[in-house]
A and B are shown apart, each in its own frame.
Chain A
Amino acid sequence: MAEKKKISRRKFLVRGGLSTLGVLAVGTYLLRNHVRRGIAGMINTADTPYQGNTDTPIIWFEITSENKVVLHSPKVEMGQGTFTSLAQMAADELEISMEQISVVHADSASGNMDAFATGGSTSVSALWVPLRELAATMREMIKMEAANKMEVELSELTVTNGVISDGAKSMTFAQTVEGVSDWAVPDTPELKPISEYKFVGKPIARVDLEDKVFGAPIFGMDATMPDMLYGAVVRQSRIGSTYLSSDISKAEGMPGVLKIVQEKDFVGVVAYSLIEAENAKAAIEVQWESQENLQTADIRAMVTVGKGKPFVIQKEGNANGLLEDDDNVIISEYWSPIGAHAQLEPSGALAYVEADKATIMMSTQVVSITRGEIAERLGFDAEQVNIMPTFLGGGFGRGLHTPNGIQAAVLSKAVGKPVKCFFTRKEEFQNDRFRPPTHHVLKGKLNTNGMIEALEHNVSSGAVAFGSPMLPKILETVLGADLGAWRGGMIQYGVIPNYQAISWRVKLPFATSWWRSLGLLANTFAIESFMDELAVKADRNPAEFRLAHIQDNERGIRLKSVIRTVVEKAGYTDEVIDGKAMGFAVSTDANTPCAEIAVVSIENKQIKVHKVTCAIDPGLAVNPDQVRAQCEGAIIMGLSAAMFEKMEVENGELTPTIYGPYQMALMKHAPKEIDVVLLQGSDTPGAVGEPPLGPIGAAIANAVFRLTGQRLREMPLQLSGNDI
């Protein structure tokens, strides 16, 4: 029977410390290359365990007097729908209705904090078991308390819609928990069979839908506090600038200016309004030390396969020997540009620093890291800083880096009042941590049966994971290759007897980092375009060609399944019909295989995507409607990156700095038909938010080839010549 255990609300059982990757790394430092490749393989396929509290239900669930449950989520909501899926999982085990549950962001001070991040398409999969166990435990805790209060046997009690009953008497959750401070905690109850769930697996409407349709003030930029002031910080416009000093004489005394704050690494203004803060900021003269006049061509030259240090991340057989120059080796090069996050809500924070504590309201994907950085700068213990995460106006990885929180906190400390401080759009474009540009060299050789004898993928890329505060520095040595940069860069065709993937590291003079799906988009564009080239060379149907090279293990079977499904659903053909052609591509990301077929025509010399069919196997879809929504959004975001987006470097500055000139897909570019087919090759939930970005670039390019004969090997895809 249950053991009586006391839990006080102030005594938290949070597990901090190293991330999964860190744990993996510690035991394997100093090991040799084959182990390196083993780690690479593990990280590419491993499910990421949840890095936070999993054994204290009372910091997850709050029971209100209206007999509703508030789920305090340590995962943040940035559009991916996690709040809704978590609510479904919890409601089913709590035995409450969807109307009885709401979800808010957990404050870091609550103790319910994710020690890692919200990202990597891991939230639902990582919390699948822990959250349901927490909910089931909470339900049993309430039942045990009700049994005491009702003086009946626990086994007599059932729960329906938050009401506990023995058939004669009943109590609500709210009545039961009133006044309880010491809880009896049972052993972890057995979870219900999935077949008994009422909400998991159903297309429940988003829990944040009404807030978002009626304009509720839920975002970081909407946060307010009494007596709030406005901050503005001077930020670099030139690549690689270091702040040296500033002349604030013209800005001092300008209307509305309360204080100008000169720090060792930045200068900022606090004023009574945003406009006054920005006006004063514009009057500050800053001396920067900055890089020479770099141009796009300089960056492109840096990102070149063959330059820097190679790391073999995958190796089977003897690709090296077979792919030495000879007439039968096919070699192609591919490129992808610098990409911006361009999330609509600019980075920023509202901070209130008092004598012995700080309160920060902001959009962040890394609550724990944000808290640590701010505490360090203020000279506080981490526990003195309370991060109150808000809904993010887009994440996409931008929210994984949050020095803006530090700046707001420093400004607040200087005036002793709450200060809200945000980036301008120009600053956002020039101070982003970009999707790195890439260069790929693919080599392949066919045998006389039209099968691939040897295949090699080389990728040169700016950093993704390396340099991030999320990754222990030691891992850069252990891993060698940047695990973010080669995401999607491994070869998924296990039937090929000889293959290898090689990652070339390059350090760029500006920050590059996590961008939704990391290297997946560019790597899949290169590999799957090249697979299409080989299929054409072998004179085979491109989907059949892929199928013939996929092994029959569990991973391979799921991969084949999405390919067969998408081909059948789209009615794939190599033929051009009514001026439209189809292109096929497939990728596997974080264990989720996804195949896509794009239907493309040329209109006014521009590529036009009419329809995308997508077959994806993310395992159990906790919310099939939101899985579809993620696929639809990821396909159009990927289309946007593949067809339009590109940052340039001109005279040492990143440009453009505004939407429009930074071209993105708009309504008119979005396919009018997107057909998503969900397969379930596993009974647990897998990754959803990023995998469907993988195939879209190659699918479009492969369709363009069938239509025009032009093999487009560089994103953004541009048709050339007049023969179209």
Chain B
Amino acid sequence: MNISLNVNGRSHALEIADGNTPLLWVIRDILDLKGTKFGCGKAACGACTLHVDGEAVRSCSYGVKFAEGKEITTIEGLGTKENPHPVQQAWIEEVVPQCGYCQPGFMMATAALLNKVPKPTDQDIDDNIINVCRCATYYRMRKAIHRAAELHTPNEVVQNQNA
């Protein structure tokens, strides 16, 4: 099928054999955006989390056909070194990553949470940030999420997408 994908503010016209192909593999292998990670393929770990119309989605279990016409944001589109998203800024300030593999998924999940809940409590974080980090950087991540909330103005993600 022919499909049009809007990723990080750019439009891509693609031909995909099977519309049920997980969005993750289209993003990684066709668009060559490697920041979104494969962890489990069953939406169980969250390493593949990206945004579809501002909502956190586990892209390993999300057919590409459902993404047509929607705004997709990956870690590469969240912010840049020159203009980091508040979540990325907070991650840098708290020196969160260890191996780093799961971190884009956590940052995307956090950015989506902050758009809905600008000042999350510890309970909000526990309930919503449910990805898996094997290095177990959770202690610094929690600090970084609170720090990001201080830096964050709502709807920043949407503004970035339209930039």
Interface, chain A (partner B; CB < 8 A): 78-81, 205-206, 208-219, 221-222, 224, 230, 255-256, 273-275, 341-346, 391-396, 422, 424-425, 625-626, 629-630, 632-637, 640, 658-660, 664-668, 670-672, 674
**Additional 17 contacts, C-beta under 8 A, given A214-B75, A215-B34, A632-B139:** A80-B98, A209-B97, A211-B100, A212-B103, A213-B84, A213-B88, A213-B96, A215-B104, A218-B100, A275-B25, A343-B101, A345-B39, A632-B136, A632-B137, A637-B134, A664-B132, A667-B138
- Residues of B contacting A632 in the complex (Cβ-Cβ under 8 angstroms): 136-137, 139-140
Tell yes or no: B111 within 8 A of A by CB.
no
Beta-carbon contact of B134 and A672 below 8 Å: no
Contacts of B98 in A (CB 8 A): 79-81, 629-630, 633
Q: Which residue of A lies closest to B108 (CB)?
A: A215
Q: Which residue of chain A has its CB nearest to the CB of B91?
A: A213
B152 proximal to A (CB < 8 A): no
Residues of A within 8 A of B140 (CB): 629, 632
Q: A658 near B40 (CB under 8 angstroms)? A: yes
Please report the C-alpha to C-alpha distance between residue A664 and residue B102 in the assembled complex, in whole angstroms: 15
| Contact of B95 with A208 in the complex, beta carbons under 8 Å | no
Contact A395 B99 (CB under 8 A): yes
In whole angstroms, how far apart are the Cα atoms of A616 and B66 in the complex?
51
B26 to chain A, nearest CB (A): 10
B40: nearest chain-A partner, CB-CB: A425
B88 CB contacts on chain A under 8 angstroms: 213-214
Collect the chain A residues with CB atoms within 8 Å of residue B39's CB.
344-346, 425, 659
B99 touches A275 (CB 8 A): no
Complex Cα distance, B76 from A664, in Å, reads: 28
15 inter-chain pairs at a CB distance below 8 angstroms, sorted by A residue, are A208-B100, A219-B101, A273-B29, A274-B29, A393-B101, A425-B39, A632-B136, A632-B140, A633-B135, A636-B138, A640-B136, A658-B40, A667-B125, A670-B142, A672-B139
Instruction: Report the bound CA distance from A632 to B143 in whole Å.
Output: 13
Q: Are B81 and A668 in contact (CB under 8 A)?
A: no
Q: Would you call B74 an interface residue if the criterion is a C-beta within 8 Å of the partner chain's C-beta atoms?
A: yes
**By the criterion CB–CB under 8 Å, are A633 and B136 in contact?**
yes
A712 to B114, CA, bound (A): 40
In this complex, the member of B32, B75, B84, B97 whose beta carbon has the largest number of chain A beta carbons within 10 angstroms is B97
CA distance A660 to B32 in the complex (A): 29
Complex partner residue of B134 from A215, A255, A396, A625, CB under 8 angstroms: A396
Complex contacts, B96 vs chain A, CB 8 Å: 213
Docked CA distance A425–B48 (Å)? 13
Q: How far is the CB of B14 from chain A (nearest CB, A)?
A: 13
**Closest Cβ neighbor of A219 among chain B residues:** B101
For B101-141 the 0/1 string (1 means CB < 8 A from A) is 11110010000000000000010011101111111111111
The reply to whether A666 and B29 contact each other, CB–CB distance below 8 Å, is no
Query: Closest Cβ of chain A: how far from B123's Cβ, in Å?
Result: 9
Task: List A contacts of B91 (CB < 8 A).
Answer: 213
* B residues whose Cβ falls under 8 Å from a Cβ of A: 17-18, 21, 25, 29, 32-42, 44-45, 47, 74-76, 79-81, 84, 88, 91-92, 95-104, 107, 122, 125-127, 129-142
Contacts of A660 in B (CB 8 A): 44
Q: Point out which of A341, A342, A626 has the most chain B C-beta atoms below 10 A from its C-beta.
A: A342
A231 to chain B, nearest CB (A): 13
Q: Which 9 residue pairs are nearest across A and B when measured between Cβ atoms?
A: A215-B35, A393-B101, A79-B99, A212-B100, A79-B98, A636-B136, A215-B75, A217-B34, A670-B138
Question: Which residues in B have their C-beta under 8 angstroms from that of A206?
Answer: 95, 97
The closest CB in chain A to the CB of B143 belongs to: A672
Per a CB cutoff under 8 Å, which of A78, A217, A344, A666 touches B47? A344
**In contact, B81 and A674 (Cβ under 8 angstroms):** no
Given the known interface contacts A210-B81, A224-B32, A391-B100, the answer about A658 and B42 at a Cβ–Cβ threshold of 8 Å is yes
Q: Closest Cβ of chain B: how far from A75's Cβ, in Å?
A: 14
Q: Which of B95, B125, B132 contacts A344 (CB 8 A)?
A: B132
Is there an interface contact between B107 and A275, defined as CB atoms closer than 8 Å?
Answer: no
Complex CA gap A637/B98 in Å reads: 13
Contacts of A665 in B (CB 8 A): 136, 138
Whether B129 and A221, one on each chain, are in contact in the complex, defined by CB atoms closer than 8 angstroms, is no
Which of chain A's residues has its CB closest to B87's CB?
A213
B101 with A394: CB separation less than 8 A: yes
- Whether the pair B74, A215 counts as a contact (CB closer than 8 A) is yes
Contact B142 A273 (CB under 8 A): no
A510 CB to nearest B CB, Å:
21
Q: How close is B72's CB to chain A, nearest CB, in angstroms?
A: 14
Which of chain A's residues has its CB closest to B137's CB?
A: A633
By beta carbon, the residue of chain A nearest B125 is A667
